[in-house]
Structures are given as structure tokens and as C-alpha cells.
Amino acid sequence: MFLRTVQLARGAGVKNWLFVVKPHGFPRVYRSNSSYHAFVEMDKVTALRYEPLPEDSPYVKPFRMYYTQNGVEKNWDLLKVHDSVAIIIFNKTTQNLLLVKQFRPAVYHGVISSAEGTNPTTIDLEKYPPQLGITVELCAGIVDKTKPLIEIAKEEILEEVGYDVPVDRIETVLTYRSGVGATGAQQTLYYCEVTDADKVNAGGGIDGEIIDVVELNLPDAWKLLKQGSVVSSPPSCLLGILWFLTNKAPKS
């Protein structure tokens, strides 16, 4: 079940590094063209604790909505979060989908709270290793600036995956509301084909983000749909892969 990283350098001075990660039943090859990236360990998570949400959180605003429906007074507890974009990326050179892997605090918390109840006072990192919070998902980003959504999608492709593509190569796929119980946030899904010639940096995120680029071949993409929960992929990722396999994947 746990992710293990083995680094396989392809010789000094060679730009590409290959490293193999083997979560249970889901071996994968990751590529990065930066040695920095190959040595960052996203599961080195320590000093973990919970505190109440500060009122000035730039990411999450909780509140209660009161309303009357069909004559009955009701209320609903809500979280305002940013809308987002997500991009299905297919590398035509390698014929692989490009996904991203990262530590997700909310997923880690979900795993612990399912087992121990909400917000236990101490968190046993031996019993619950941080690898449990690592996901494989689409390249994605929050809409926290006033820019066309497609421009934000372009920026995320560059920052997280390292490919520089013009917006006219990014196709709008679907818009939907995720988190209908608590957030009602909108996500816009895009599709983009890249080639190795579009690669300009290693990706990996900005501002301290630790993100690995994952190349997923098409047989493994089918497998991921069947075993999604094994690697904690969110519904947007599973939907994106399904859309790709249905609408775009090479027929052979």
C-alpha cells in the first residue's frame, strides 16, 4: 500500500532522472529533468497538529446558511472555497497521461479520522505514515486571481508539470460542482496534448509545493479506474481519465 521511491539516475549530466514508485499493485515510472526534484521527499511530514481555523484563512470560510424551503425553516453549514481548474494532459511523444502526486493534508486527515474519530489530540506517525495522504491526481489549481480560467490552466500546466503550451491548445471539457454537500465549488476541466518539445522545466509546483510528475501509460490508466481508492485519486481525476479514454485515447 505504501509508496516507496527508488532513484535510478541515468548517468551524470543526463537531464532525465527516472525513479520508480511502487504503491501496492500500482507500479509507476516518474520522470523529472531536475536532480533537485528527485531528492525531495514529500512524505517527510513531522510536527503535525490541529488548531481551530483562523478567521482570516485565504482558503476556507465557514458559515451557516438559513433558509425556508416549502414553508419549513432549515439551515446548512457551508464552506466557501475557491473554484478551481483541472487539466487532463496527454503526452503524444510518450503516449502517457501526465498526472501529479502530492501530500494532501485533507486526505491524510480523512484517513486518520475514519479510524480514530475527528481531530485526535495526538497523531501517531508510525501508525499512520504520511504516505497515506499522498494522492495521484490531475494537474489542477485554485482560481484565486482575476484571470480567464484557461490562463490559470495554462499556468498550472507550466508550474506543476513543466510544459509550456499556448491557450489555443487547451480544450474545455466540462464544468461541474464538486463538494455539493459542503462547498458547492465549481471546477472547470480542460484537456491538453503536449509533446516532449513543449517541456521547459521539471514542474513540481511553486512557493514550496512538493509535487512529482507521474506518467501513466494507457493500460495503467484503465487499471487506475478500477482500483482508484488504492492510490487515493479524487473523483475529478477518475472522471478526467474516463473522459480521455472514452473520447481521445488512441484506438490501438
Instruction: Give the residues lining the site for ligand UPG (CB under 6 A).
Output: 59, 82, 84, 86, 137-138, 140-142, 207, 209, 234, 236
In the complex, minimum distance from the CB of residue 235 to ligand UPG, in angstroms, rounded to a whole number: 9
Give the separation between CA 171 and CA 143, rounded to whole angstroms. Answer: 18
CB-nearer residue toward ligand UPG: 156 or 220:
156
In the complex, minimum distance from the CB of residue 234 to ligand UPG, in angstroms, rounded to a whole number: 5
Nearest to 38 by CA among 210, 232, 208, 217: 210
CB-nearer residue toward ligand UPG: 232 or 236:
236
CB-nearer residue toward ligand UPG: 16 or 78:
78
> Which amino acid belongs to residue 51?
E
Give the separation between CA 40 and CA 172, rounded to whole angstroms. Answer: 33
Give the separation between CA 118 and CA 122, rounded to whole angstroms. Answer: 11
Handedness of CA 98, 188, 234, 105 (dihedral sign): positive
CB-nearer residue toward ligand UPG: 32 or 84:
84
Q: Give the residue nearest to ligand UPG (CB).
A: 140
In the complex, minimum distance from the CB of residue 66 to ligand UPG, in angstroms, rounded to a whole number: 26
Distance (Å) of CA 241 to CA 9, 35, 48, 104, 203: 30, 29, 33, 20, 21
Q: Which residues contact 214 (CB under 8 A, 6 or more apart)?
A: 21, 28, 30, 98, 99, 100, 101, 136
In the complex, minimum distance from the CB of residue 111 to ligand UPG, in angstroms, rounded to a whole number: 16
In the complex, minimum distance from the CB of residue 16 to ligand UPG, in angstroms, rounded to a whole number: 24
CB-nearer residue toward ligand UPG: 11 or 54:
54
